[in-house]
Structure 1
């Protein structure tokens, strides 16, 4: 067991209540004082820089070995900078903020300038707010904390999922639809591999409507859905995302303002409008059931009668049949 020569009494290493780092520094000091106080030789022996050694040498006290411990306490300076803002202005800022905790530093600055003729930087106003706890908006912080707690991780779908197999990635999107004076929300879903699609209209664009639509898509598609891709709309959060979690279906999101990542659903919306609803001149009733009856007609036309260039001029239903006959993924009916 190592004993040190520089200490007032002979002590063993086991007698010290020091951290590993402090004990390592004690080895430096013991070697330094027992070898003629040669700092360069000490640094070379322990492979440390001179700046590190000279930082600890003045701190070392052989009567107080805790001086070699790293002091993590903040060293507060003796003289602190103080705000040069007049006390009257600080009191005025506090008064304005207390009357309305929702008022931002920019609004306070404008009020001071126009109503009191005081020109002051908004960073100074923020410092005043930070130094007075009673001026903080506790409700806003609580609301922000709750929002972060319910925040959903935005996963991104890999490109190879689009053409992997049937149901490997289904894209879903929403488009508003005006019929007479009524506004409907058209939900669309399309399988990236087979172009098999489904459309349905709703009166609201809530997450409950999106969750109901997802349930109908799962029942309508002739194969299981392995993953879903949507944009970042609020209708695809809460109930919709909760349903995907319950069904153990991965829910991927597109990057913001990047519709090309949900391109096949976007193209399906264009097809629904240009090739179908623009020609429904006899649709003079804004009843939701009648609109959905027309959506059912489009679903049959798109999946069983429309030939797709991307499928080598096959219908989606025919493509699914030929894909499975060649030994593709089995599906449920």
Structure 2
């Protein structure tokens, strides 16, 4: 930009503190004066219409570059529209809302209707918007405060899956309907060793999810370094508080993306196909818990897994820890 060509004295453009759009218009004027004041050539060079260029050329003054700024005051009508509602009705709306900031425009409309005053909710909302003291700022403050307590949904790095024992434990929940009764199966699996643990509950909430995490930490013979869950409400509140107390990072999957918890999903399928579907009657929660215990023993101690070279998960954990020189006592 050669802005010095059109300025009466040598001065830096940045001293005027112009906006980006104003600097762009100044570039038009600079190019216009530097090329023989050819307006059509300037319009073709910058790809603007002649009407736009002449509009700003008429406003431009080399002694005041602020003339290239868009002044919204010039677009304001000289006479603004006024509300046609009678002032005493507006005053009544003001008083009702001021006495109770929690009243909505619909409640105020109904209250005035019972007094024989017909006024629309849109008019009431305009009155509220025009007076800052009528806005329910306490409600907004509570909403913002609750938003500050939201859990950060951090995603686990893919390298954590096969990094080490306990580097990432995938946890998921399965709803079972048996003879009209509903059960909730919580499952956990170590991505490295495929060591799994399942347990049943009658309800699905954060209290039971936290209890399940305690059982998982007691069952696994190694330290849990991180857990990965979906975005269900059972994995918030008490469950997340427990992960913070245990200093265990809590990762979340993307919404509607079960493949990010694929090994937990596969564990659920194995539980269904090999232990649940062929059972004739499982009427009580204790029976379901007993089946879960049998599955834990079979899955971890007897079932061979192709992903870990046809070893059982416990054999894999034992061999892995022995290679590291760690005594494994299970």
Give the TM-score category using the shorter length.
0.5 to 0.7
| Equivalent residue number for residue 287 of structure 1 | none
Distance in 2 separating the partners of 1:323 and 1:132: 68
| Equivalent residue number for residue 170 of structure 2 | 170
1:318 to 300, 312, 317: 312
Distance in 2 separating the partners of 1:260 and 1:106: 46
1:42-121 alignment runs, 5 A limit: 42-44=42-44, 47=46, 49=48, 50-62=50-62, 64-71=63-70, 76-113=76-113, 116=116, 118=118, 120=120
SS of aligned partner of 1:78: coil
1:234: Cα distance to partner? 3.8
SS of aligned partner of 1:83: coil
| Runs of 5+ consecutive residues of structure 2 not aligned to the other structure | none
| Equivalent residue number for residue 16 of structure 2 | 18
- The CA RMSD over aligned residues, in Å, is 5.4
1:251: Cα distance to partner? 1.3
* Total equivalences in the alignment: 310
Distance in 1 separating the partners of 2:151 and 2:125: 31
Matched, 1:152 2:154: no
More displaced stretch, 261-270 vs 233-242: 261-270
1:255: Cα distance to partner? 2.4
| Equivalent residue number for residue 38 of structure 1 | 38
Show CA shifts across 1:101-120 (max 9, x none).
33333444455556646362
TM-score with structure 1 length normalisation? Answer: 0.62
1:14: Cα distance to partner? 4.9
1:143: Cα distance to partner? 0.9
More displaced stretch, 97-106 vs 191-200: 191-200
Matched, 1:300 2:297: yes
Do the aligned partners of residues 264 and 159 (structure 1) sit closer, same or farther apart at CA in structure 2, a change above 3 Å counting? farther
Do the aligned partners of residues 53 and 172 (structure 1) sit closer, same or farther apart at CA in structure 2, a change above 3 Å counting? same
Do the aligned partners of residues 252 and 330 (structure 1) sit closer, same or farther apart at CA in structure 2, a change above 3 Å counting? farther
Residues 211, 243 of structure 1: 8 Å contact kept: yes
| Equivalent residue number for residue 141 of structure 1 | 140
Do the aligned partners of residues 83 and 277 (structure 1) sit closer, same or farther apart at CA in structure 2, a change above 3 Å counting? farther
Do the aligned partners of residues 225 and 15 (structure 1) sit closer, same or farther apart at CA in structure 2, a change above 3 Å counting? closer
| Runs of 5+ consecutive residues of structure 1 not aligned to the other structure | 178-182, 285-290
TM-score with structure 2 length normalisation? Answer: 0.63
Do the aligned partners of residues 304 and 65 (structure 1) sit closer, same or farther apart at CA in structure 2, a change above 3 Å counting? same
Do the aligned partners of residues 27 and 162 (structure 1) sit closer, same or farther apart at CA in structure 2, a change above 3 Å counting? closer
Matched, 1:221 2:215: no
Residues 97, 134 of structure 2: 8 Å contact kept: yes
Residues 173, 265 of structure 1: 8 Å contact kept: no
Distance in 2 separating the partners of 1:69 and 1:238: 55
Show CA shifts across 1:213-261 (max 9, x none).
42441342245656533343444224533554663534114627x8897
| Equivalent residue number for residue 127 of structure 1 | 126
1:146: Cα distance to partner? 0.9
Do the aligned partners of residues 126 and 300 (structure 1) sit closer, same or farther apart at CA in structure 2, a change above 3 Å counting? farther
Distance in 1 separating the partners of 2:100 and 2:283: 54
